[in-house]
Amino acid sequence: MTVETPARFSPLSEWHDTLARLPAGIEVRELPFLTHLTLRLEPGGTAARAVESCLGVTLPGPLRAEQSGDVEVLWMGPDEWLLIAPEGRQDDLLARLRSAIGDAFATVTDVSAQRTTLALSGDLVRTVLAQGCALDLDPRITPSGSCPTTLLAQAPVTLLVRGETPCDLRLLVRASFAPYLAAWLTDACTEYRGNDG
């Protein structure tokens, strides 16, 4: 008996063309199938040390993110982190982490189907996001490596500030909120369409 792998669909498959036509100064791309693992453990404990050794990175503190190779580790709460890696890394990472943790008290859960990721770049990114976000998005307040969880236009998101430039951000949003957020981003960019040269 052959078991077929279910087809995967991007939550924003119908929005790709619309998002590709946003004004100059903001680029939005969906990264729909990244690996997302939730890690729960006691900070500083045996399991934490084992995970840090396995990943080659110190688990970050509040509102911070760290990267080791192609794995990003985001602080999500006092005893919770989100690990993000390229598509298809779930099984490998789960096996490595569970082996490293052994009998220590911790959980690692694959939550890849729960969210999608929007990669945003360009000079207008923070200006556009500020229209629907109560956080101060000034690069001095939310610098590279920040990962606050907040509301954007009433949709819960985790905002990950990446890269060397202050305009390289990712929005992690639950799949069910993704179309609403795409519609909001499109609307929020309307006033900048005159800037397209």
Predicted confidence (pLDDT) per residue in 135-153, tens digit: 999 989 999 999 999 999 9
CA distance 81 to 59: 8
Structure tokens belonging to residue 172: 């992690």
CA distance 135 to 3: 47
Which has the higher per-residue pLDDT, 7 or 34?
Answer: 34
pLDDT mean over 158-171: 86
- pLDDT tens for residues 111-123? 999 999 999 999 9
- SS3 call for 29: strand
Q: For residue 41, what pLDDT is reported?
A: 97
CA distance 149 to 142: 12
Lowest mean pLDDT among 21-25, 58-62, 85-89, 165-169: 165-169
CA distance 104 to 51: 11
What are the E-state strand segments in the chain? 27-31, 35-41, 65-68, 71-77, 80-85, 106-110, 115-121, 149-152, 155-161, 168-174
Q: What is the pTM of this model?
A: 0.91
Contact predicate 99/159, CB 8 Å: no
Query: Could you give the percent of the chain with pLDDT greater than 70?
Result: 93
Q: For residue 72, what pLDDT is reported?
A: 96
Q: For residue 4, what pLDDT is reported?
A: 66
CA distance 6 to 161: 33
Bridge-based pairing of strands 71-77 and 65-68 is antiparallel
pLDDT mean over 96-100: 96
Residue-range domains of the chain with CATH: 14-32+115-192 (3.30.1360.120), 35-110 (3.30.70.1520)
- SS3 call for 25: coil
pLDDT mean over 158-162: 94
CA distance 1 to 39: 35
Residue 39, phi then psi, degrees to nearest 5:
-115, 125
Amino acid residing at 95: A
- pLDDT tens for residues 10-59? 999 999 899 989 999 999 999 999 999 999 999 999 999 999 999 999 99
